[in-house]
Amino acid sequence: MITGVAGFIGSHLADRFIKEGYHVIGMDNLITGNLDNIAHLFPLKAFEYYHHDVSKFVHVPGELHYILHFASPASPIDYLRMPIQTLKVGSLGTHNLLGLAKSKKARILIASTSEVYGDPLVHPQREDYWGNVNPIGPRGVYDEAKRFQEAMTMAYHNYHGLETRIVRIFNTYGPRMRVEDGRVLPAFFSQAIRGEGLTVFGDGKQTRSFCYVDDLVEGIYRLLLSNYHLPVNLGNPSEITIMDFAHEILKLVNNPKAHIIHNPLPVDDPKQRQPDISLAKKILDWEPKVSRSEGLKLTYEYFRQVVKGDGNH
């Protein structure tokens, strides 16, 4: 079962598990998901869909072997718009799914995030770093829900002996990201294609490290089937400033009308972020294979289909 199945990562996970021969039950309440992402799965016998909010009691008939909990608003503007739902899906939703996993004797993998490290004082971030989070800042609703989620998951593991896995996901990109989700890559691609200003927040010196979705899915697949229950970072260590990232997208889209503009830096925006993936390398024999230039080309193919350009390029 995959929660958040109509979302960006959830839908790619569903594809992968179906390809591996699993029967997939997908769940979503579509507050940020989109059925277009999974429309191709509906005709398949191996796929079932439930429209449900996992913050409410979750009932699934029959056997269940694996649960992957990927339901949550995940972009800063989404969780600012839906702070209570964000807190609920990370806490109450996670509790419901842990309870379901316990009753079905299923293994559960929980989607955590690099946001548990907050605006990190240690660089790059290793799993044993405890983070620097402002609990009451605008990002607190997401960061603290995810930190609670990890604590709850470990409690079910330690107290009930539940088989649990925790992945800390760093910035990920690829086809099926929502055009209007506010995150940097959909924003820059859609602005470049439309011939608008790319909205660099602040001076653009803040850094992120972007992982192509296929690499992430491979890591999650390996982690689920591993026997490691503590949190594992998955991401691409190749770090770039947001300003340089804007230039990469300008060059790729090559729309003469597109240019760079500056908007204010959001409150508590992390200044730098780069995963230390030594643990994933060691226990999963995993590292990203898709370079940013390759991944951006693949993603551009998607965005040029879904974003209407200005017709001049």
Q: Which residues bind ligand UDP (CB under 6 A)?
A: 75-76, 171, 183-184, 187, 199-201, 206, 208, 242, 265-266, 269
Please give the Cα distance from 157 to 175 (Å, whole number).
34
- In angstroms, give the least distance from the CB of 82 to ligand UDP: 15
Q: With respect to ligand UDP, which residue has the nearer C-beta, 96 or 113?
A: 113
- 222 CB-contact burial (10 Å; exposed 0-12 / middle 13-18 / buried 19+): middle
Using omega within 30 degrees of 0 as the cis cutoff, is the peptide bond preceding 124 cis? yes
- In angstroms, give the least distance from the CB of 246 to ligand UDP: 7
Q: Is 212 noted as a catalytic residue in this protein?
A: no
CA 230-233-237 angle, to 5 degrees, is 160
> What is the DSSP annotation of 3-58?
ETTTSHHHHHHHHHHHHTT--EEEEE--SS--GGGTGGGTT-TTEEEEE--TTS--
Question: Whose structure tokens read 């660089």?
Answer: 123
**26: which strand partners?**
2, 49
Q: With respect to ligand UDP, which residue has the nearer C-beta, 103 or 263?
A: 263
CA–chain centroid gap for 106, Å, is 23
The one catalytic residue in 79, 142, 173, 212 is 142
- In angstroms, give the least distance from the CB of 236 to ligand UDP: 13
Given a contact cutoff of 8 angstroms between Cβ atoms, the answer to whether 35 and 14 are in contact is no
Q: Which residues are catalytic?
A: 142
